[in-house]
Structure 1
């Protein structure tokens, strides 16, 4: 190995770049922002963001974000488990900031998902304010992850690259198959043909093999990475079946017209997530040992609720005035 190779490896997967980011007048700003962006890249926040857009702002943009988020989760967890690249070692920054991660480092999931979700918002929402917020989040997320000592430069570059692939792959898929975004099956008699059942079964067939991925007997980081794949696969199945159910019922809605409608919509989602994600998660944990099937079902049920049951319940409340 010559000096050039050593230099590249140290730059991309060494501590020198991360250490150079500390000890400047920006520490007082970068520290709190890195903690904030750590939580802004969590599964709970992204689930809330997608739900907010899906039910409160634009249904079609929400579908784009949900599909992109889940595909990003599957790809990110798979890459981490396959490459098994460790996170930065010997740095105190994450501990000083009071944050930590338990999976492998490459590619950065925070960065990858930020590119996908905020990229979709940039492409499809008209608000310049939202666009600038999205650009800032995509730009600052890699800085925050490196400043916190949770990712090497190579990790965030990988996250950026794969995030762009997922973003434009999702956009291309929906351009080729725009019917995914429509509110009904035009010209298709689902009850007589059974096509809806076939579509639902297809979602399950495509995602259920994730429960067979290796998850026991390996390193803790590998376990967490494969768990991410299972969670994202279950979520994709649940949300996909939810979209199909919406189309079978012709459920469609626009942005919330007033604060009351917005509050009721978000309250419906929050209650469901509390019951099905938090409480159901605790019930599963007490009744079953941690296993891929329980994880797949848990995320599938939650995302089916977000995708279909929550708008269905809103449609049946007071004649659907909250979902006009």
Structure 2
């Protein structure tokens, strides 16, 4: 069976030949084996840090890392991303492959909307929103397992000099990116590099590519912000690679709304296709958000 990377490369070449995409190099540069080394070194760090005080946790982590997790490139290789460890994070393989089949939980995130401001009908970055991120950060730091696979780092010290939507710049002041289960909000470094996803002729968007900004991804599907109105869009079809998809849909009116309802709220299962055994979902339950 062809590897997922080979399938991506073949698809990019096909669409490039059809004039729909910028043609990928052929052949693609040889990979350096970075992913394999990353997984091994990832476990070594877990072992060194936790084996003496919690061997049961290390045994469980070993089974998960080598049995159900894959290194994932934050900046995609076929878009020029480097095959280096600093461009990798661990992603649950089941989440990465599952077909979205779950409906959002019927109950809303407990108390979140009461703490978030509104502007023109959309949730915005407010002090209460920053506190919600801080609570998630504290929860991550309170658990060895949660802290290995998730991250909500502190915000940047200065407002970035980046041609990006104002709300995303506000988000970076609260958290310099985030890995919340299968939802990734790009940090300042990779946000700038990932804009190649919407270069002319690379992928179809409903309007001028200059109107869009890549802000993150859900599983392997890019998440874009419309620069004109701040709405958040993605490619929701998990049966089709995003660059071959003809579905491009609005999922939130603002980045704050997306994070509050989809990453920190009950919409997480639906938007990612995860199950209730997902660790991030367990963290959300711990916080009382779901």
Pairwise same-fold verdict (TM > 0.5): no
Q: Which is greater in Rg?
A: 1
More relative contact order, 1 or 2 (CA 8 Å, 6+ apart): 1
TM-score range normalised by the length of the shorter chain: under 0.3
Q: With structure 2 as the length reference, what TM-score do the two structures score?
A: 0.25
Q: With structure 1 as the length reference, what TM-score do the two structures score?
A: 0.23
